[in-house]
Amino acid sequence: MIRLTVNGQGRTIEAPPMKRLLDVLREDLHLTGAKEGCGEGECGSCSVLMNGDLVNSCLVPILQTEGAQITTIEGLAIDERLHPIQQCFLSEGGAQCGICTPGMILATYHLLERYPQPTLLQIQEGLSGNLCRCTGYTRIFNAVQQAALAGATG
């Protein structure tokens, strides 16, 4: 029995302690926003926030999340209204196939929490663990800049 908070809701999980957080989110809690890309912490498409820190959920055994606060992409929108970062990704065309997008948005959220007005280098570093094979990144960087200008801090 592992107790944790997912998107503000207390949850109790019964799972083998080595089950990956990603699998628990997708299979047990049916939160399919976090995607499995590489499964080895390289691509960032499984990114979630754990106690406010960006982590690759494919590398977190569920036992280590005991008592933790997990935020997934599903927890970002407030009252069914898109978070400003999501809105900027939409308006700037920062998403194409969408596999990397949940991770990109959470990485942006984590970045803007620390640097509300990031430079391009800070944006590049903040998203360096999130791979996108569609957009070529330029539109994603534009979306992050727009979000920063719109004051979308975490």
Partner 1 sequence: MRSDATQYDLIAPRSLDAVLQILADSPNRYAPIAGGTELMVAFGAGRLQPKKLVSLWNLSELRFIEERPDAIIIGAGSTFTDLRRNSLIARELPLLSQAASWTGSIANQNRATLGGNIVNASPAADSPPALLAYDATLTLVSTRGTRSMPYRDFHLSYKKTALAEDELLHSITVFCNFNGYIQWIRKVGHFQGRDRRSRPYSRRHHRRHTHWRRQSARNPGTSYCNRAISSQPGRYSCDHRCRTRRNPYRSPSHRRHSQHSEIPRRGCR
Q: Which residues bind partner 1 (CB under 8 A)?
A: 15-20, 23, 39-41, 44, 47, 50, 53-56, 58-61, 63-64, 66, 107, 110-111, 117, 119-122, 124-132, 136-138, 140-142, 145-146, 148-149
Q: Which is nearer to partner 1, 111 or 152 (CB)?
A: 111
Of the pair 33, 79, the CB lying nearest partner 1 is at: 33
In terms of CB distance, is 45 or 86 closer to partner 1? Answer: 45
According to DSSP, residue 85 is labeled: H
Q: How far is the CB of 144 from partner 1 (least distance, A)?
A: 10
Taking the C-alpha atoms of residue 133 and residue 106, their distance in angstroms, rounded to an integer, is: 18
Nearest CB to partner 1, comparing residues 65 and 81? 65
We find the least distance from the C-beta atom of residue 23 to partner 1, in angstroms, to be: 8
Provide the CA 43 distance to its chain's centre, in angstroms.
12
Contacts of residue 89, Cβ cutoff 8 Å, sequence gap at least 6: 95, 101, 104, 105, 140, 143, 147
3-state secondary structure at position 13: strand
Nearer to partner 1, 81 or 101 (CB): 101
Q: What is the nearest approach in angstroms of partner 1 to the Cβ of residue 82?
A: 19
- As measured in angstroms, the least distance from the Cβ of 69 to partner 1 is 13
Residue 8 CB, nearest approach to partner 1 (Å): 21
